[in-house]
Amino acid sequence: MTGLVVCVAVLAAASVFGLMQRRRSGRMKVRQGEAALGAAKLGEELGERATLVQFSSAFCAPCRATRRVLGEVAEMVPGVAHVEIDAEDRLDLVRELGVLKTPTVFVLDSAGHIVRRASGQPRKADVIAALGEAV
């Protein structure tokens, strides 16, 4: 009987944890005190108004959807660039920025300062709202 109670408790705790992680995934969060990312660090030019930086990996299905969403947003908003970085090729930046999973998206202002960050696939509306703060 005790084993059944423990099993149910562990399953309940795991379910709650999974639901919390799922809910937080893709949310744009404000980040304070992170270093600016310039063209030299990224290996590509920044947008004149803002830049969407995406860290991806080769076999990541949400990365493909995120690429599409960020590309659409960059086309809609003048002066916004979309830069995609392969996390495996740029482990230096992954470590420096604390990227723990792909996709991870950073919204940069025109100077390259990080305005927002999302781990997981962000919603298009959230990206547009974050851009509003950057431009």
**Model pLDDT for residues 15-48, shown as the tens digit of each residue:** 655 555 555 555 655 555 566 788 888 889 999 9
60-106 residue pLDDT tens? 999 999 999 999 999 999 999 999 999 999 999 999 999 999 999 99
Q: Global pTM?
A: 0.78
d(CA 85, CA 21): 24
Tokens linked to 93:
């930046």
Q: Which of 98, 109, 28, 30 is nearest to 69 (CA)?
A: 28
Is the Cβ–Cβ distance between 38 and 110 less than 8 Å?
Answer: no
CA dist 24 and 48 (Å) reads 30
